[in-house]
Amino acid sequence: MKTLREAYGAETKFTQSLAKDIDSLNKINELVGLPNVARAVNELSIPGGSIDVVGYTVKGEAIVYEHQDLSGRADQTHVGKTSHYARVLKSQGLKVLGTILLCESIDKIFLDTFEDIRWAYNRRPTLMGHCNIHAVRSIWTDELTYAPELFTDDTIIRGSDTVLDFYKQEIENKISDNNILISAHGNSIRALCKYLFKLDENQISKLEIPTGNPLLINLDEEKKITDCKYLDSERAKDLVVF
């Protein structure tokens, strides 16, 4: 397999080429279940930046394509930027059918980077949650043919798994003799609550984590929850099972 730099020399040259390669764009669209485009433009200027590629169907509907190569990180910031581009186009009166983040920069993808954990269970990572972004892996063959593919089970890391691994290794055995404060991203807290509250996939979708409202959880010697409540009762959210 080749890298983008080996195939094109620069990311801008790739996106310029991609805008002219309607067959490759439609290959990407087929992977994620979006319709074919008939034409595309490169580096479309919008307030606050420019979009790598925008494709248009015969009906004039838009699909946004952003690419992240090996020199950068496909992280939450990039996802947010891509989602923002789609919202700008919608505000200009365009119907946007989908947004696609093409990722060369990672062999493995942290699913929770793209998808709120409430949507992450029992679902393949094609459509990425509340950001409404599809993630596609950019690959070039040794013959320099562009061969995009979906992330598969062996290229997915669920952030919830890493949270639980850390909790079991570093925190769980210390609970009996200590008061422990955990400060983390909402998705990490939600993953931990799913484990502690023994929530199923339907229940987790109802669990809201308010910002900056400490959740006090008391456990007995067998590490079973005896009491659970938010310290600010006025901003408390439904704990589903308490």
Instruction: With 0.75 as the threshold, say if the pTM is over it.
Output: no
What are 63's strand-pairing partners?
A: 55, 98
User: What is the rounded CA–CA span in Å between residue 39 and residue 150?
Assistant: 23
The contacts of residue 165 (CB under 8 Å, 6+ apart) are none
- The domain segmentation of the chain, as residue ranges, is 4-157, 159-235
pLDDT in tens, 122-159: 344 444 444 467 878 888 888 888 999 887 655 555 56
User: Does the structural domain 4-157 have CATH classification 3.40.190?
Assistant: no
Pick the closest to residue 106 from 152, 149, 137, 66 (CA basis).
137
Alpha-carbon gap, residue 233 to 73, rounded angstroms: 39
- Give the whole-angstrom CA distance, residue 86 versus residue 64: 7
- Of residues 205 and 9, more confidence is placed in 9
pLDDT digits (tens, 9 = 90+) for 6-44: 888 888 999 999 999 999 999 999 998 899 999 999 999
DSSP the chain: -B-HHHHHSSHHHHHHHHHH-HHHHHHHHHHHTPPP-SEEEEEEEETTEEEEEEEE-TT--EEEEEEE-TTS---HHHHHHHHHHHHHHHHTT--EEEEEEEE-S-SSEEHHHHS-GGG-TTS-TTEEGGGTEEEEE--B-TT--B--B---GGGEE-HHHHHHHHIIIIIGGGGGG--------HHHHHHHHHHHHT--HHHHTT----TT--EEEEE-TTS-EEEEEESSGGG----S--
Instruction: Give pLDDT, residue 95.
Output: 92
203 compared with 229, residue with greater pLDDT: 229
| Residue length of the chain | 242
The predicted model gives 71-77 an average pLDDT of 56
